Amino acid sequence: MADLGNPRKTIEILQKYQFRFAKKFGQNFLIDPHVLDKIIRAAQVTKDDFVLEIGPGIGTMTQYLAEHAREVVAVEIDSNLIPILEETLSGYSNVTVLNEDILKVDLARLAEERNGGKPIKVVANLPYYITTPIIMGLFEKKVPLDSITVMVQKEVAERMQVGPGTKDYGALSLAVQYYAEPYIVANVPPNCFMPRPGVGSSVIRLTRHEKPPVQAADEKLMFSLIRASFNQRRKTLVNGLGNAPEVPFSKEEVEKAVAGMGLPAAVRGETLTLAQFAELSDRLSGHIL
């Protein structure tokens, strides 16, 4: 039975193994059963599901996942946690722990081998220092995904969910919303973790779109434009893109495309919707003349 999600049990196991938290691995373990329940419910894990957990820690959420899913693979970088996981997960035959760096695992291949290439669910209390590379890696490396339900820093959850014209809107908002529908499930205060993080946290569910909400003929170009315009936030879109080394178009070409879209010459990138970035990309690449 899942029994780790409380402070007493967590302290007991940490003391037994004389475990020392490694700050560099973003270790903040969940100690609140209500939050664990909320995550599992938001992820809608069923006995049909293959679940990938990133950073199982001492296995608190892994136990919950194992009880609800068909199969769980949990990837943990810290080898000091492996003996602990062997004990806490010994009662579950449907869990595999891989002692690896999640950023180096071929997840598309894992999904192919373990789940016949069918969409997987990702559920995790993420190590915050690598939130963006983990999430973007899942989307960009074409891992077959049903949904990603994860604990992240509160500000990062907000950035993923907001639309144009707000201060948090940026390349991450657009990238996430191109691939998925974001929904903030709950805000979680620092006292639900051990040790307490210095920031607020939120659980966010990203439900993978079956088809992207916009179509850009050259997806790579669209993302270069998005990144370049938010790298130079204080410049107008024309100046930002016209000067960006990664954007292979002159200022005049950008000016023409922006005018063709009926936008003011001084428009800023942060006001553009995903559909407008797709159109800009198609105009620049000659797919719209």
Query: Residue 137 CB, nearest distance to ligand SAM (Å)?
Result: 11
- Name the token pair of 260: 């063709």
Closest CA to 150 of 131, 172, 137: 131
Closest CA to 71 of 114, 24, 109: 114
Query: Does 2 sit near ligand SAM (CB under 6 A)?
Result: no
* CB closer to ligand SAM, 184 vs 261: 184
Query: Does 28 sit near ligand SAM (CB under 6 A)?
Result: yes
Query: Does 107 sit near ligand SAM (CB under 6 A)?
Result: no
* CB closer to ligand SAM, 79 vs 93: 79
Query: Does 56 sit near ligand SAM (CB under 6 A)?
Result: yes
Rg value, the chain, Cα: 21
Query: Residue 76 CB, nearest distance to ligand SAM (Å)?
Result: 5
Query: Does 276 sit near ligand SAM (CB under 6 A)?
Result: no
CB count, 10 Å around CB of 182? 19
Query: Does 188 sit near ligand SAM (CB under 6 A)?
Result: no
Residues 122-141 that bind ligand SAM (CB under 6 A): 125, 127, 130
* CB closer to ligand SAM, 82 vs 266: 82
Is residue 30 annotated as involved in ligand binding? yes
Query: Does 27 sit near ligand SAM (CB under 6 A)?
Result: yes
Determine the size of the site formed for ligand SAM (CB under 6 A). Answer: 23
Residues 69-88 that bind ligand SAM (CB under 6 A): 75-78, 81
CB count, 10 Å around CB of 212? 14
Residue 70's φ and ψ, nearest 5 degrees, are -75, -45
Is residue 239 annotated as involved in ligand binding? no
**Exactly one of 13, 26, 153, 278 binds ligand SAM (CB under 6 A); which one?**
26
Query: Does 19 sit near ligand SAM (CB under 6 A)?
Result: no
Q: Residues with Cβ < 8 Å from 135, sequence gap 6 or more?
A: 148, 150, 176, 206
Is residue 28 annotated as involved in ligand binding? yes
* CB closer to ligand SAM, 90 vs 99: 99
> Which residue in the block uniquely carries the two structure tokens 């004990």?
87
- 113 by Cβ neighbours in 10 Å (0-12 / 13-18 / 19+) ranks as exposed
Report DSSP letters for 92-156, one per residue: -TTEEEE-S-GGGS-HHHHHHHHHTT--EEEEEE--GGGHHHHHHHHHHTT--EEEEEEEEEHHH
- 234 by Cβ neighbours in 10 Å (0-12 / 13-18 / 19+) ranks as exposed
The torsion of the CA quartet 71, 75, 81, 87, rounded to 10 degrees, works out to: 10
Query: Residue 22 CB, nearest distance to ligand SAM (Å)?
Result: 6
Is residue 200 annotated as involved in ligand binding? no
Query: Residue 241 CB, nearest distance to ligand SAM (Å)?
Result: 33
- The Cα angle at residue 164 between residues 204 and 182, in degrees rounded to 5: 15
For residue 12, which amino acid is it? E
* CB closer to ligand SAM, 94 vs 239: 94
Q: Which residues are annotated as a binding site?
A: 28, 30, 55, 76, 101, 125
Contacts to ligand SAM by CB under 6 A: 25-30, 54-57, 60-61, 75-78, 81, 101-103, 125, 127, 130
Binding positions for S-adenosyl-L-methionine: 28, 30, 55, 76, 101, 125
